[in-house]
Amino acid sequence: EVQLVESGGGLVQPGGSLRLSCVGSGCTFSGYWMHWVRQAPGKGLVWVSRIDSVGGTRSYADSVKGRFTISRDNAKDTVFLLMSSLRADDTAVYYCACEAPTGLFWGQGIHVTVSS
Amino acid sequence: DIVMTQSPDSLAVSLGERATINCKSSRNVLYSSNNKNYLAWYQQKPGQPPQLVLSWASIRESGVPDRFSGSGSGTDFTLTISSLQAEDVAVYYCQQHYTTPWTFGQGTKVEIK
């Protein structure tokens, strides 16, 4: 069974930074690509970023490129999302997800609120 | 980017009746070398994360009831719930993983009439 637990969310002021963490199990963590997907309040799912199994290939949505950085520490079964220059429209539930061949398996999500 | 468009945005179906959700991709998501459609369907119940329901457009995930089925290829896809149950009330999303950025449909809310 896949278990992914996100942490590090909360309230941050516009222009601030936050680092999300996701600890995983059941995905054979080090063998899988990992993703972050977000969902603004009352809205749909938006893909944010992904990283390959060893951290060599990273992709970002245009809306976060240059502001967000994805990374991973396979020794700790953890993937990170460093979010900088945060804006109000970054407010969302952020989900960590494991990329299996068939699709994504998701964590419970963590709330991020950007507000003054 | 590949744009995924679902229809309808919401539908209300009586218990035991059929629910049909459509998903249209702006580009082909069928990979010719393996003849697989890189199209997944997710179910999201209120307050919960999404859960994978169908992969490769039509393959049910383990534990998913057989009243859920998927069809289509290339750019046009359908999720069908053959006999709606109360526990199927949720928002359903299609998603392409053919190329980055991965993109989702806007979601279809399924309710009981």
Whether A26 shows a pLDDT value over 90: the answer reads no
User: By the CB < 8 Å criterion, does A41 face chain B?
Assistant: no
pLDDT of amino acid A103 = 87
B68-78 residue pLDDT tens: 999 999 999 99
Exposure pattern of A70-84 as b/e (b: 16+ CB <10 Å)? Answer: bebeeeebbbbbebe
Could you tell me the pLDDT band of residue A29, with boundaries at 50, 70 and 90? low
- The rounded percent of chain A whose pLDDT value lies above 90 is 79
Q: Is B38 exposed, middle or buried, given 0-12, 13-18 or 19+ CB atoms closer than 10 A?
A: buried
Closest of B42, B9, B11, B44 to residue B112, by C-alpha: B11
Q: Would you call A106 and B49 a contact, using CB atoms and an 8 Å cutoff?
A: yes
Q: How far apart are CA B19 and CA B80, in angstroms?
A: 6
Which residues numbered 95-114 in A keep a CB inside 8 Å of some CB on B?
Answer: 95, 99, 102-109
Whether B12 shows a pLDDT value over 70: the answer reads yes
β-pair partners for A83 = A18, A68
Average pLDDT over residues A43-58: 93
Q: How far apart are CA B22 and CA B16, in angstroms?
A: 20
For β-strands A110-114 and A10-12, DSSP reports them as parallel
B51-62 residue pLDDT tens: 999 999 999 999
Return the ∠ at Cα A71 (arms to B53 and A24), rounded to 5°.
Answer: 45
β-pair partners for B90 = B110
Exposure pattern of A101-111 as b/e (b: 16+ CB <10 Å)? Answer: eebbbbbebbe
**Residue recorded with tokens 């750019």:** B75
**What residues in A contact B51, CB-CB < 8 Å?**
106
**What residues in B contact A5, CB-CB < 8 Å?**
none
- The rounded percent of chain A whose pLDDT value lies above 70 is 97
